[in-house]
Structure 1
């Protein structure tokens, strides 16, 4: 029990989500009964293969793809790396230029930086104050040597949704492949790869109620992408390594549930999100909302508080039973300000005072009430101790 409450309040669903009971139930037989290696040929292995292919069909249906365009990976990071490095390697004779945005997840930025060390050129597009990429800036960045444009569907820190259809249209006008990191978008906004013009798409199961360690890369049929790993002939010779059948089955069930529930769940989460945003802005001065005010994920609240450090906010909230984040879980140990917030124009001293609260299915209106009661007191106390605060009398 924390501060009189029987349970902690988890508001970090952008980092990971709890695995749904229905997902666990569907995974269990893959550990105990249908545990065969799907690459073998006997009956037990064929059972595993059939189960895995059923899950592949679920993932494909969720994004409007064909089953033969879905390739299973260990998660979103591997899928992003494979898309970027695989396209670059397969198209080296055509060109050596990649276009991406300055606010991508590090699973995209770091592969791009690794390619730069190998002689590739990368353009990191700027964003506006809300974190949006202008399709016109994509047009300006493209050269005759460009082989790939990669822009995420929705930002993991500030929740801003990108104009994917328009960006993909620009890239296709030039005959260039378009990849999107949809790790935060799947199950949160409608995704149809054909309607949006997506050639490659990355997703990760643990962001929508599935297990960790499982993801997928959609590769449009006919797209040239070299394998990321050498080894066996799994995934039709394109991704070596024995498939994680329980995780894949769990991902298939989770994506089914997430897509089916998306319309109702998004409306309900957005109502809680908006009440949380209004309550924070009304009760805490020198505070701003980060990200687009309307074109944002239904569960995302990202605020910047002047004169305080985000880490201190998190520790104070944790003591009160509230789990949040300062940004991406992959960079939570870093002392550097968020690259996303600084790209949006926030000075480093303001970016250091950020807090991300991301809602999920277990959150309630009472949780929002509790946060709105606790957070102003936390910020006030931290500002009283801060040497940066204009109210400091020292």
Structure 2
């Protein structure tokens, strides 16, 4: 079992200055190594039998700056720039690993066949963390944590590390309100929970913007809209930042810090709401079915602000992760047609609706209920069919809407 615990750090002024210096040096190293890869790629991308003097350099092509080449080249970096000798060697190597991962995601597709965008150079203040890939197991003593080459830093241990867990990595993070350390913990003796599910405790949830979610049992969770409620304060803070014309002034830095704390507060409110809502679902149900939404695509519509404020993707990932730890089952369901089809198992007729139609009224069987509840029941029925539960389900539900629901009577 692998988990992560995050603790607040209280470094001294000298330690905070050292952490900031490391982050700035690592940022410059990250940009330099990323530029090395881009330059080599641009110099070698022409056809084998042709060379353009416009896009290709006439200088001899150097060796490809891959992961191991760049790690070996760190010796030359330390000779040319002695400040880098003060950074822990594994922390510096982890910077090269981050460049490799960013570049690999740009060229290689993931399991879904998609690629990430082109890696960007990090501006000042944009490199906010560094990682110790290895750290001593007894690094925390009382209220102090020993970070190599930084020293003993005061730490607020608000919860103890569970017995039997080993500390694998430590990541130091600079946030808007101070410094944090995230410890990755592992315990191989913890068995994977076997699913012991009560199939009667199955629920389908429909994500929405009127309500955050609505279940197939007609339970609703109001949408909090943290970002929209705090928009007036955000506009005021943005105005203050825009009025500070001198980008090197202390007043501008203070204004930026206040704005960053505002965003951090909204993010934490949303995250706390997601965890509490996920806990209620996991405590009440054994099988949770949800819509497999294309949130990135939906975020490009005119409802993008409300969708991003709701944070559907983050919530669903929390539900998946916590359900796995609790021995529950989550099922992603194709949402195609779930709101357009009657949820009555004896009907299953297509009832077209516009986005403004919030009530499901079936002219065939006379079923009357909320549109979102109808969709949640359809999602539950699809999950019922996929998990092999002996229950009467819609024929198109078992197929997962591989055909349009309009084809069914």
Give the TM-score normalised by structure 1: 0.25
Of Structure 1 and Structure 2, which has the larger fraction of its residues in strand? 2
What TM-score comes out, normalization by structure 2 length? 0.25
Q: Quick check: which has more Rg, 1 or 2? A: 2
